Amino acid sequence: MNPGIEYRIKAAELFALASQDHYRALRIQFEHLARAYLRLAEQADRNSQLDLAYETPPTTALRAQRGTPPYLA
């Protein structure tokens, strides 16, 4: 499942918990946490549109072969 959708589901669950809680402090904390999950969902949506490839940095042995000093790598 798409991570953005999973975060939105979790946010909805937390908003539901907030609406059911009688203690104001807990209700506020649930709402803050739910909003954080909504921000994560937005970030996940933005990240899903990126086309990035991670390339593992060369090992020390490869840097030595290339003549690159370790402090410059």
Rounded Cα–Cα distance for residues 11 and 38 (Å):
6
Q: With a cut of 70, say whether residue 37 has pLDDT above it.
A: yes
Rounded Cα–Cα distance for residues 57 and 34 (Å):
37
Rounded Cα–Cα distance for residues 31 and 34 (Å):
5
Confidence label for 17 from pLDDT (cuts 50, 70 and 90): very high
Q: With a cut of 80, say whether residue 62 has pLDDT above it.
A: no
